[in-house]
Amino acid sequence: MRAPSPEPSTSEHPARPERVAVIAIHGVADQKAGDTARAIASLMLNNPGQGATYRQADCDTHLLPVPPLTSMVQQRTGHQDKNEKAATEGAAAQKAYVPPVRKAMRQSKTSDFSADDWISTAESDDAGVVRAAKGRGPLTPRELKKSNPDIAFSDYLLFKSQRAEPDHEAYEATRVRMTRDATDANEQPVQQRIDVHEMYWADLSRLPGSVARIVAELFTIVFRLSQLGRDAVDRAAEAAGVNKKPRPPGAQRWACLASLQTALDWAFANLLANLFLQLLLVGLVIAGLGGLARVEPAPSALSLAELLRRVLAVVVPVLAVWWYCYEARPGVFGRIVVGLYALLAGWLLWAQLPAHWVVGLTWLALLAALADRALRIARDRFPAARTWGLGLMALTVAALLLHVALNAAAAGGTDDLRHWVRAGMRVVEYLLLGVVLWWGVAGVLLIGWLIAGQTVPDRDAAARASIATGRLGLFVSVAAFVALSMVFWAVLTNIVELGAKNVDYAPFWFGKGIYWADGANFLHSRYEKSTQAFALTAGLTLSLLAYLVAVLVPSLFAEVKVAFGTSERLGHWLGAGYRRLDFFVTLLTSASVLVACAVALLLVLKQCGVSVGGRIDDAVIWVSALSQTGLKPLIFTAATLTAAVSLLGGFLSRTVPGLRMPLDVALDVDGHFREFPRRAIPRARIFSRYVSLLEHVAAQGYDRIVIVAHSQGTVISTELLRYLQFRAEQKVDARVTELWAALNKSRLLLLTAGCPLRQLYAARFPHLYAWVTAEDANGGGPSAAKVGVDRWVNLYTAGDYVGRWLWGPDDKSYTPVSVPPAWCVAAEHEACLGRGAHTHYFDLDQAYVARWIDWMVTAPR
């Protein structure tokens, strides 16, 4: 009898551990590279799921190449037939060419995206292929802009960046490796290998470290807020049909509103700002040369001006020869000729030209060079700023030199630096008169702008939101600029008055007929009269600040983890404040326009010698005294804050993030829309880096990919995923098509925290982010399928002032969630975490956030 054969073994080789990639992308605040990946890994380590443990958290970094992500238009151009491209390229380029100055002027009025310049240029570059592809290939830029404006805008920024030929970069990516051990329903061990990758982007869109660049970015954001408002109104007008022929009923009023918004923004950024720059230039001329004139030489010694002339007579020719030889590399004969010219120039400077001309022209040239440097920085952000700045500078310098010559001639040709001081004071009058005229014209435009905003037809929710964004942007920009200008004027006036001390002056316009024995008194009088409306300006600006403080104070307490009422009360208070913000801004803007017009009228009447009555005069005197009293503490506060930001900015941002959060939010929103400088467009650089990281992750063959994003990182992630999915469906290029196919081999999941898509972006820019509110997923909101993910979970706190809910009605419950994480019927799910604000989602005590991340890492479909 045969022995029974042994039963087949039931033991199998253990299954391969599931591999999961978690991509962490940070939001606003002063982040350091690697912080977000380590924070999420620490959160998972300290709050594992039930019956699970995490272990072996190793952290490393690796370098990834970051080739620029080209636009869909450029990819289509690359697929063009060579003969067809050669036949059409020359004519298209000739037709599309626009002189640089003319192009800068056009770009200063509106974005190329709104003006369709991008479309015409792109279709010219495509040389007919795009137009021929209609109906059988990728969408043309014009069709894309109509159907998916957000995707079109991303492609436009990529197109604009690539035309500037940006440099290839490298990204040092942080990775944290962990192992998750758990048991399944059959008590069998289950192991997962989890890698946390970080997508770091703060270095591409954040406040730089140097003081000079911080100041440049702060002034940039002052003007950019007005441009963002202008672009929002432009898109609303375009949606109303202003570009259609014939225009539909009511479109003419929208065109009028958009034109007034554009005119005010353009005049503000290109004229008013440059007038104040020229005031600064002339003020420094007065301060420097006037101070030099006050230095009395010792008996029988050379005057300081004469000594400087002799030094310059030697130094300037020598430097000129050195620079020419360095740049041109001339031969022996060329060097001899240049040397002779240098000797002639030295002789003229030493013996022929008066000392005050040599010193004054040198100082003026140095200041003009510094001003041009500032204008070059401005040109990278505002295309026409340098063109208008150089024009005004040329007029200012010409007027200054003319009056120096007239003063010297009237004094019998005496060699005196005080001729420059008197000429400077005359040019100050010209510039102040220009500022007064600017406000006079702007007052008329502002009245028409307000009326047009209230009377345009078809004011649906998106139109009202766009108009409110335009008002908010213009009001905040102008108010901030006026306040900063007055503070700078107050700081500079003491230095300028020292330069004009004991220099007599007879004004031609301001105080005509009054002889001032001391020019310092004249300048001080102009300072007081120019800033006498500061109390009104500060009062209106502080009204908006007080409103925002009242709305945000409970959230700020929540930011520092101080209990301030219940979660429901916190959420409803913040929501009500945001809903009433547009109405408050409308009232404030209307009051500002009326006050500006009243002040302008009083100035005109006073200049014409018309009395307005005792009570009004008393009110003017009271406001003027209040303005001077208020400026002094403001100057001290501004100086203190500047020193604090310079010395302790990074420390304060990391330890008390709420202090710099409003500025970081404004910078990130601005960076997300910024089109200049073209070689460093933030969104284009961030998208390129993100795609390189996704390619690296996709190449590893992970079973699932979980993107965990916070704040602005949620906007970047959702917009990039929408863009990649759409581009892959269009099959424009192999790179993105293959990347999207590789990502879809894994299970792609998305967790967002404090997402501002609905509360900020869709509310302020409704036409560009119509996809956020137009879809009806999960009771109304963006769908996971349109973003290209299998599941989308959104977490928020009741007091998050940047981003909260995405789906359902606006006024919803803020009761803290108590049920454990689980998939719902819909692919979209969100939960309120209770009291809290914006910056603590990934703290170690956020157990519910950790449970959701763990659920998305492990949960079945």
- Annotate 375-425 with DSSP letters as a single string: HHHHHTTSTTHHHHHHHHHHHHHHHHHHHHHHHHHHTTS---THHHHHHHH
The span from the CA of 690 to the CA of 200, in Å, is: 9
Q: What is the largest CA-CA distance in the chain?
A: 141
Place of tokens 């702008």: 449
Coil/strand/helix, residue 746: coil
Radius of gyration of the chain (CA): 32
3-state secondary structure of 174: strand
One-letter amino acid of 502: N
pLDDT at residue 624 in the model: 59
Between CA 672 and CA 682 the distance in angstroms is 6
Task: State the Cα–Cα distance between residues 303 and 529, nearest whole angstrom.
Answer: 37
pLDDT for the residue 605: 64
- Sheet harboring 18-25: ordered strands across? 53-66, 169-183, 189-199, 18-25, 704-710, 747-753, 791-796, 828-832
Token pair of 68 as six digits: 């620029």
Which residues pair with residue 191 across a beta bridge? 181
Q: Do the Cβ atoms of 635 and 487 come closer than 8 Å?
A: yes
Question: Do 59 and 176 meet the contact criterion of CB atoms below 8 Å apart?
Answer: yes
C-beta of residue 688 within 8 angstroms of C-beta of residue 67: yes
Low-confidence ranges of the chain (pLDDT < 70): 1-15, 29-30, 74-99, 116-139, 206-215, 296-307, 309, 314, 321, 324, 327-353, 413, 415, 531-538, 600, 602-663, 861
H-state helical runs in 2-140:
35-46, 72-78, 82-96, 100-109, 112-115, 117-126, 129-132
Angle, in degrees to the nearest 10, between helices 581-607 and 418-455: 130
CA-closest candidate to residue 180, choices 57, 23, 70, 297: 57
State the Cα–Cα distance between residues 268 and 225, nearest whole angstrom.
12
Name the packing angle between helices 385-410 and 273-293 (round to 10°).
Answer: 30
Contact of 1 with 814, CB cutoff 8 Å: no
**CA–centroid distance for 165 within its chain:** 22
Residue 56's region, left for phi above 0, alpha for psi from -120 to 50, else beta, is: left
Q: What are the residue boundaries of the structural domains of the chain, listed by start?
A: 18-68+167-206+671-750+763-858, 72-165, 532-642
Q: What are 749's strand-pairing partners? A: 706, 791
3-state class (DSSP) for residue 52? coil
408-413 long-range contacts, Cβ below 8 Å, gap at least 24? 408/354, 408/356, 413/354
676, burial (CB in 10 Å: exposed 0-12, middle 13-18, buried 19+): middle
CB 44, CB 177: distance < 8 Å: no
Amino acid in position 103 = K
For residue 820, is the peptide bond before it cis, meaning its omega torsion is within 30 degrees of 0? Answer: no
- How far is it, in rounded angstroms, from Cα 224 to Cα 375? 16
What single string gives the DSSP state of each residue in 560-572? TT---S-HHHHHH
The CATH code for residues 18-68+167-206+671-750+763-858 is 3.40.50
Tokens 């620079």 -> residue: 323
Alpha helices in 127-250 (DSSP H): 129-132, 141-147, 149-163, 211-239
Contact present, 479 and 592 (Cβ < 8 Å): yes
Distance CA 9, CA 6 (A): 8
**Which distant-in-sequence residues (6+ apart) come within 8 Å of 63 by Cβ?**
170, 171, 172, 173
* Burial environment of residue 4 by CB neighbours within 10 A (0 to 12, 13 to 18, 19 or more): exposed
Which tokens go with 321? 């020869």
Give the residue from 184, 417, 227 showing the smallest Cα distance to 308.
Answer: 417
The predicted-structure confidence for 224-244, as pLDDT tens digits, reads as follows: 999 999 999 999 999 898 888
Q: Which residues pair with 64 in a beta bridge?
A: 171
Nearest alpha carbon to residue 279 among 359, 377, 392: 392
Distance CA 160, CA 111 (A): 12
Torsion of CA 227, 229, 234, 236, to 10 degrees: 160
Please give the Cα distance from 636 to 517 (Å, whole number): 31
| 610 residue type, one letter | V
Nearest Cα residue to 172 out of 689, 860, 556, 614: 689
Length of the chain: 861
What amino acid occupies position 395? L
pLDDT reported for residue 615: 60
Pairing mode, if any, of strands 53-66 and 704-710? Answer: unpaired
Q: Which residues pair with 169 in a beta bridge?
A: 66
Of 430, 378, 368, nearest to 399 (Cα)?
430
Q: Is the peptide bond before 354 cis (omega within 30 degrees of 0)?
A: no
Which residue has tokens 């009023």?
Answer: 253
Q: Using an 8 Å Cβ cutoff, are 456 and 250 in contact?
A: yes
Helices 273-293 & 304-328 angle (0-180, nearest 10): 130
In sequence order, the 6+-apart residues with CB closer than 8 A to the CB of 715 are 672, 755, 756, 757, 761
Question: Distance between CA atoms of 221 and 218, rounded to whole angstroms?
Answer: 5
Each residue's pLDDT tens digit, 298-343:
555 456 666 676 777 767 777 776 776 776 666 666 666 666 666 6
The full DSSP string for 811-828 is S---PPP-SPP---SSSE
pTM recorded for the entire structure: 0.86
Q: Which amino acid is at 486?
A: M
pLDDT of residue 756: 95
